[in-house]
Structure 1
Amino acid sequence: MKRKSIILFTALVVSVLSCSDSVEKDYKDASLSIDERVESLLPKLSLEEKVAQMRIFHANIGAKPDENGNLKLSDKVIEKLKLGIAGIKNPGEHIDPLAAAKLNNELQKYIIENNRWGIPALFVTESYNGVDAEGCTRFGRPMTSAASFNPELVQRQWDVVGREARLRGMHMCHSPEADIVRDPRFGRMSEAFGEDTYLTTQMVKNAIIGVQGNYEGLGNRTHIGAVAKHFAGYGQVLGGSNFAAVEISERTLIDEIYPPFEAAVKEARSLGIMASHGDLNGVASHGNPELLTGVLRDQWGFEGYVVSDSNDIARLYYFMGVAESPEAAAQMGLEAGIDIDLYAEDSYSYLPEMVKKNPELEKLIDRSVRRVLRTKFILGLFDNPYIDIEETKKGVRAESSLELAKESDLESIILLKNENNALPLSKDKSTKIALLGPLLSDDTKAMFESVSGSNIKYVAEKGFNLTNEKGGAPKLLEKDPKAIANMVNMARGADVTILFLGGDKFTAKEAYFSNSTKGDRATIDPVGPQDELVEKIKALGKPVIVVLKHRRTLSINTIAKEADAILDTWDLSEFGDESTAKIIFGEVSPSGKSPVTIPRSIGQLPFHYSMKEINYKKEYLFLEDGPIYPFGHGLSYGDFKYSDISISSGEITPETELEVSVKVTNEGSMKAKEVVQLYIKDEIGSVTRPDKELKGFEKIELDAGESKTVIFTITPKMLEFTGISMEKVLEAGDYTVKIGTSSQEYLETTFKLKK
């Protein structure tokens, strides 16, 4: 009897310990590590529930507010959410932040309460001008930010993006773009940070650190996770045409295209990566295990999730023609390393049936689900899934965020030309100014008046639109001679004309998969009668200032010839015209630098400053040599002089570093900022080398008459490249250091690498 009692007691203890151990490993226990919580939850899920954690749908299929602002779900969405979901794209994008926060709390509550394990969903946005949703601070586009050459400023800007997105109930952002863009025909050009690898790397890294709150903001629920895109080579599409093939050498891919993504993974710890729409040298990116697993995970150690671009796994079958069936396409994507299928109903939805025929696929499904669940735990969604609406009221469009948008504008505006010091204009002199042109906004005149004061009088006239502004493929309008004549007459009665020219959201945009939507162009000249307008107004013999607004590089030959001054503003914030006016009237000196080369003709493409030296040996018949304006170019109201370039040693070894310095003096009469740029040229290589490469920059501010010595450190890492054996090498030989104000204006010194 006693022995039986002992046995029963022992069994009871074992049972209690087992239960205790089970409780300790419960995924709801916040004291466990993230990996322990993932491994506790994953085995509980059915196959169908696992696959649900690998799919994202768009809120426009039926997750929206009703007339009273309460959550309304379509039958289709209700059905989808029964098993849970990886995420939902853009819920509440068309309502104000407070309403969105309320809606997303209701949506998240519904999702948690209507799947067996209470798994929350990721709500996903994008960011091209700040959070891509109603009522958030509107910043300039990434290309605009790149012109600031100020990574710290970009980090602060994206910090606001991360905070504002989280406060409206979002968790992930399909941004920033880490693509290198060098073809102005490409309609998405302004979504990226320019043509240069080093500049893009610095901007992408800081954007991700900002939006993720230096990673700490994820678990603290103050920021959102980034999804760097499009991996890899997307900006290099042939003909600048979206969805076209990408043909790029493996060496260029490694040395120029990969670095921004590698920095996103290794330095900024991006939570996500999005695969590229297209192929890469014949291998479809969404079915490329060497790229998505070999490079991204095995080489770089990426631990986050990889999401498809819109419907692109299914397109391996019906567009790319590399899969025999929709099911084969799903298997290709899964095996390559795509963890989440964005939007498609004809791809990962097939996985449960496919596993019945091939049970081994479930191991790959588990691999992907682990990554998705891990992300949700990192973001703290299992423990704190809802937004404090009181914080939303205080945090979105805070005064500090609006001021930051203005600051970013002022550092991003590029003074391309300033003949005879046409700018700045004086506020003190009584002047009549004509504000004219197709890029004039409704509030431009009011913004200029708020800056210039009572001495300046304005007349304003847009004159004409560039397109009919309709549909996915807008059409150019016929020239309106009366409109041009009217603007010329207005300019005749003014002392100065400011022309607002360039392009808009209809002349440069994403070309979607549908044949009825287009956004790429076969020419890069300004469309419509803009050149004619400049010429006719210039013929009046009065000062002509051009404000360029655009989303792709334009071959502005006529504008560059005729205008007395040109301000290149790309696509600024909601305060863009106010900031432009401040530059025009000299409140602030312009300090932006061009993040792209500005070509004279589309026939020069490809045309970026860091091409191989042999590309520059022969120019074209009947075309002036070189670009209109080079990469890194940007004038100032200051007058910066470079002198006394010095290098700490004439030699460097694989174990040592060098310091190179230059003295910069502002000989002008106004405080101003300057971007001091460091380029290095490898004079002799085992493979043909770039003409020069940006390896560093520093933005400085100098008072009138002030000097500063700027010092750069040259490391062996800066000199590495992919050699003839397709491995990274450090080659002995001669190098030239160039420090200056642009990629074409600099002082030089030399050193040798000895091994």
Structure 2
Amino acid sequence: MNKIVLLPLVFLSLFFQVNCQSKKSFEKYKDASLSVDERVEALLPLLSLEEKVAQMRIFHANIGVDADSKGNLKLSDKVVEKLKLGTAGIKNPGEHMDAVAAAKFNNVLQKYIIENNRWGIPGLFVTESYNGVDAEGCTKFGRPINSAASFNSDLVYKIWDVVGKEARLRGMHMCHSPEADLVRDPRFGRMSEAFGEDTYLTTQMVTNAIKGVQGNYEGLGKGTHIGAVAKHFAGYGQVLGGTNFAAIEISERTLIDEIYPPFEAAVKDAKTLGIMASHGDLNGIASHGNPELLTGVLRDQWGFNGYVVSDANDIGRLHYFMKVAETPEAAALLGLNAGVDIDLYAEDAYALLPEMVKKNPEIETLIDRSVRRVLRTKFILGLFDNPYIKISEVEKGVRAKSSLDLAKESDLESIILLKNENNILPLDKNKPTKIALLGPLVKPSTKKMFETAASSNVSFIAEKGFDLTDGKGGAPNLLERDPVAIEKMVEMARKSDVAIVFVGGDEFTSKEAFFTNAIGDRASIDPVGAQDELVEKLKATGKPVIVVLKHRRTLSINVFSEQADAILDTWDLSEFGDESTARIIFGDASPSGKLPVTVPRTIGQIPFHYSMKEINYKKGYLFLKDGPLYPFGFGLSYAKFEYSNLKLSNNDMTANSEIEVTVEVKNTSIVKAKEVVQMYIKDDIGSVTRPDKELKAFEKIELNPGESKVVKFKIHPKMLEFTGLKMEKTLEAGDYTVMVGTSSQEYLKTSFKLKTN
């Protein structure tokens, strides 16, 4: 009988011991004075297997996270069920609300998440950023390709600092941006989401974007900024044929020397909190199931300790699309083994893990590894201690005047002057002039924005004429030629002093090709529709024709280039884009943007980027002029700049020394203007075939009329390393050519010798 009495007492004692331990652990992970790792290790053992897996899954708000007509939280049954276990996070909650409404909504949503899972674990609210925060009521900047065209790293930091602040104020925590991919194929519809074709330029842009959006990392815990997720690791922009989801074939040497560096800098220099894996494969190995890529390179070599998130549904696609896994369960295990920590959206991948663990308990060790990384991110962001937004700070912090002014400034610095025949630009705003604003990319607000930038002496008429497509979101169709609309615009030009024609492409002619029934890539890079014809007929009127080129992919603009008197390449500017363009046209500022890509004459030249191997330039094509239509780094100014006195501090360099490069740049005109001074280096002879030249440094300077400045660059050994014969980073002795100038084709040059012994 004593045994019967004692046995329950033993169990009761054990219960109290376990309960006390759990309570202490609970109190420990809530203790903000402890380190992040200590808090993670205190929390992780408390979670059930199902709760752990919930911390490895992000779902989209469109499955049932909404507000009713009174602004109250409205959740679908599916979402309610998910949140009982907690969640890694939710994509785009409150995206269609203004900033204040979104902040209130996300506070309520976060409160619900915290109060409805056992351990009060907050969720990550995730956005994206291609024109600023991808949500209503935020400052709309130009796209990343515009930032690259500015060649102004400090400006990029400021833009993304605003993005980080505005996103956090509306209750967001992570951003599936920026893109660290190189984009070298203009058939690819997502071209404008990245920073161009060059490794060095992209690296500078990406690191400054991440530092900005994360508030130099310090803004994360303070609750002022959000975490970045650099994407798509790796090689995503190199899809064959320029079509989304296609295979990716990149030599290992190119991968290491050209594709990896922006991602490596994102990890080591900018301390990105997240990395997104690539949709594609790399030489036959699906990126989402590639442990050498996601663990070997990313973590073991570079020391990344954040989380890796899948691109949408891509773990499940290892089975039914990539077909490298026999079953959905096998696909989930591939992703988990490779190092993908969070499954984005899918119901057929990590959702299967709890059942898989029953058959293979060892999997839980990998699950714990991923959950640690997710929890760590939430602690770094301070979400356990300060999960809510102060509503009183939102209105004054979002769309502040300084942010709107920055959008305008970034526009002015990114607009590229490609042609200016007989110095037709800038136009004199004080001279009585009638201007026709014409073409398919004229907006309802274009005329008003131009009037804002001009004086009362200038009058405007505006006519869109025709659309390029029928505007169907998934797979738009080109519209038939409209001769009546063309003739109407030609007649308007005849009655005007100047025709400004808005042509190129829009959000329907260049966009992401989603997985289901969406097409955004193109087999041609010529301007669509009757745009060439329109420019030719406007030119035939005898009136000056100024082309404003708007686009999201590089276009072969041969007709525009031949016919127009001036061309302003504006890519996809901010919400003030037409006003900024008008300010450039009327001379309020001199254009200072430079091409972040090479502009080919025809699609037949692709692949075609400035830093290809020298041997690629040996032969041209029959019946085609050699070289690009416009080279990388090219961009005119209203000023004239004279380069002189290119000097090296030493003509010999060792593996332990540096060389200082100096060049004098003088503004020889009467216009104050900015210039991008670019330094390229060529390895004259290497053990493997080498690039024709590579951008290694740049600086944007501003000079008053007649002013000179000595610009200085440093050449250091790391700058000259490349992957050699043995597939190891090497520094080879020999001769190197240094080129400093205004583009990749116009420069002064000198040389030095590297001695490694």
The TM-score, its normalising length taken from structure 2, stands at 0.97
Alignment partners' CA distance in 1, 2:684 and 2:292: 33
Q: Does the CA-based 8 Å contact 2:473-2:508 persist in structure 1? A: no
Alignment partners' CA distance in 1, 2:85 and 2:124: 14
Change (3 A) 1:248 1:19: closer
Partner of 2:4: none
Alignment partners' CA distance in 1, 2:26 and 2:59: 34
User: How far does the alpha carbon of each residue in 1:373-394 deviate from its partner, in whole angstroms, 9 at most, with x for none?
Assistant: 0000000000010001111111
Q: Confirm whether residue 698 of structure 1 aligns to residue 663 of structure 2.
A: no
Partner of 2:7: none
For 1:562, give the aligned amino acid: Q
Tell me by how many angstroms 1:109 deviates: 0.4
Alignment partners' CA distance in 1, 2:314 and 2:370: 17
Q: Does the CA-based 8 Å contact 1:598-1:628 persist in structure 2? A: yes
1:481-520 aligned within 5 A? 481-514=483-516, 516-520=517-521
Alignment partners' CA distance in 2, 1:549 and 1:378: 40
For 2:181, give the aligned amino acid: D
Q: Confirm whether residue 724 of structure 1 aligns to residue 725 of structure 2.
A: yes
For structure 1, the residue ranges without an aligned partner over 5 or more in a row are 1-10
SS at match of 1:505: coil
Tell me by how many angstroms 1:21 deviates: 10
Alignment partners' CA distance in 1, 2:579 and 2:340: 44
Q: Does the CA-based 8 Å contact 1:155-1:206 persist in structure 2? A: yes
Residue 470 (structure 1) aligned to one of 458, 469, 472: 472
Alignment partners' CA distance in 1, 2:315 and 2:345: 10
Residue 74 (structure 1) aligned to one of 73, 76, 87: 76
1:440-451 aligned within 5 A? 440-451=442-453
Tell me by how many angstroms 1:72 deviates: 0.4
Q: Confirm whether residue 61 of structure 1 aligns to residue 63 of structure 2.
A: yes
For 1:280, give the aligned amino acid: L
Partner of 1:316: 318
For 2:380, give the aligned amino acid: I
For 1:416, give the aligned amino acid: L
Change (3 A) 1:171 1:715: same
Alignment partners' CA distance in 1, 2:555 and 2:21: 69
Partner of 1:5: none
Tell me by how many angstroms 1:19 deviates: 6.8
Tell me by how many angstroms 1:660 deviates: 1.1
Change (3 A) 1:140 1:369: same
Partner of 1:662: 663
More deviation in 644-653 or 120-129?
A: 644-653
Alignment partners' CA distance in 1, 2:754 and 2:728: 18
Alignment partners' CA distance in 2, 1:404 and 1:20: 51
Q: Confirm whether residue 330 of structure 1 aligns to residue 332 of structure 2.
A: yes
Alignment partners' CA distance in 1, 2:59 and 2:429: 54
Partner of 1:419: 421
Q: Confirm whether residue 645 of structure 1 aligns to residue 646 of structure 2.
A: yes
For 2:142, give the aligned amino acid: G
Alignment partners' CA distance in 1, 2:429 and 2:361: 76
Partner of 2:210: 208
Partner of 2:3: none
Q: Does the CA-based 8 Å contact 1:229-1:274 persist in structure 2? A: yes
For 2:510, give the aligned amino acid: A
Partner of 1:714: 715
Alignment partners' CA distance in 1, 2:670 and 2:420: 16
1:585-624 aligned within 5 A? 585-624=586-625
Partner of 1:176: 178
Q: Which runs of 4+ in 1 moved over 6 A?
A: 18-21
Tell me by how many angstroms 1:23 deviates: 6.0
Residue 375 (structure 2) aligned to one of 356, 373, 376: 373
Q: Does the CA-based 8 Å contact 1:25-1:37 persist in structure 2? A: no
Alignment partners' CA distance in 2, 1:21 and 1:550: 59
For 2:174, give the aligned amino acid: M
SS at match of 2:412: helix
Tell me by how many angstroms 1:744 deviates: 0.2
SS at match of 1:743: coil
For 1:218, give the aligned amino acid: L
SS at match of 2:485: helix
For 2:663, give the aligned amino acid: V
Q: Does the CA-based 8 Å contact 1:34-1:374 persist in structure 2? A: yes
Partner of 1:410: 412
SS at match of 2:395: helix
Alignment partners' CA distance in 1, 2:72 and 2:584: 45
Q: Does the CA-based 8 Å contact 1:650-1:751 persist in structure 2? A: yes
Alignment partners' CA distance in 2, 1:114 and 1:438: 52
1:285-296 aligned within 5 A? 285-296=287-298
User: How far does the alpha carbon of each residue in 1:541-595 deviate from its partner, in whole angstroms, 9 at most, with x for none?
Assistant: 1111000000000000000000010000000000000000000000000000000
Alignment partners' CA distance in 2, 1:650 and 1:467: 57
1:121-160 aligned within 5 A? 121-160=123-162
Alignment partners' CA distance in 1, 2:62 and 2:754: 58
Partner of 1:3: none
1:262-411 aligned within 5 A? 262-411=264-413
Alignment partners' CA distance in 1, 2:672 and 2:724: 45
Residue 218 (structure 1) aligned to one of 217, 220, 238: 220
Matched length: 741
SS at match of 2:164: helix
Q: Does the CA-based 8 Å contact 1:25-1:36 persist in structure 2? A: no
Q: Does the CA-based 8 Å contact 1:171-1:379 persist in structure 2? A: yes
Alignment partners' CA distance in 2, 1:720 and 1:393: 49
Partner of 2:8: none
For 1:710, give the aligned amino acid: V
Tell me by how many angstroms 1:471 deviates: 3.4
Alignment partners' CA distance in 2, 1:64 and 1:100: 11
For 1:333, give the aligned amino acid: G
Question: Percent identity at matched positions?
Answer: 78
Alignment partners' CA distance in 1, 2:21 and 2:734: 68
Partner of 2:636: 635
1:26-37 aligned within 5 A? 26-37=28-39
Partner of 1:529: 530
For structure 2, the residue ranges without an aligned partner over 5 or more in a row are 1-12
Alignment partners' CA distance in 2, 1:550 and 1:427: 27
Q: Confirm whether residue 574 of structure 1 aligns to residue 575 of structure 2.
A: yes
Q: Does the CA-based 8 Å contact 1:166-1:222 persist in structure 2? A: yes
Q: Does the CA-based 8 Å contact 1:147-1:595 persist in structure 2? A: yes
Q: Does the CA-based 8 Å contact 2:22-2:46 persist in structure 1? A: no
Tell me by how many angstroms 1:20 deviates: 12
Q: Does the CA-based 8 Å contact 1:188-1:509 persist in structure 2? A: yes
Tell me by how many angstroms 1:470 deviates: 1.4
1:428-443 aligned within 5 A? 428-443=430-445
Q: Confirm whether residue 545 of structure 1 aligns to residue 543 of structure 2.
A: no
Alignment partners' CA distance in 2, 1:582 and 1:478: 34
Q: Does the CA-based 8 Å contact 1:732-1:753 persist in structure 2? A: yes
Alignment partners' CA distance in 2, 1:326 and 1:496: 62
Q: Does the CA-based 8 Å contact 1:25-1:32 persist in structure 2? A: no
1:81-96 aligned within 5 A? 81-96=83-98
User: How far does the alpha carbon of each residue in 1:448-506 deviate from its partner, in whole angstroms, 9 at most, with x for none?
Assistant: 00111100011100000000001300000000000000000000000100000000000
SS at match of 1:752: strand
Alignment partners' CA distance in 2, 1:531 and 1:677: 33
SS at match of 2:208: helix
Alignment partners' CA distance in 1, 2:364 and 2:225: 33
Alignment partners' CA distance in 2, 1:55 and 1:671: 53
Q: Does the CA-based 8 Å contact 1:95-1:134 persist in structure 2? A: yes
For 1:665, give the aligned amino acid: K
Alignment partners' CA distance in 2, 1:279 and 1:313: 12
Alignment partners' CA distance in 2, 1:606 and 1:31: 54
Tell me by how many angstroms 1:22 deviates: 3.3
Tell me by how many angstroms 1:25 deviates: 6.4
For 1:524, give the aligned amino acid: I
Q: Does the CA-based 8 Å contact 2:276-2:308 persist in structure 1? A: yes
SS at match of 1:484: helix
For 2:172, give the aligned amino acid: M
SS at match of 1:147: helix
SS at match of 1:471: coil
Partner of 1:247: 249
Q: Does the CA-based 8 Å contact 2:311-2:344 persist in structure 1? A: yes
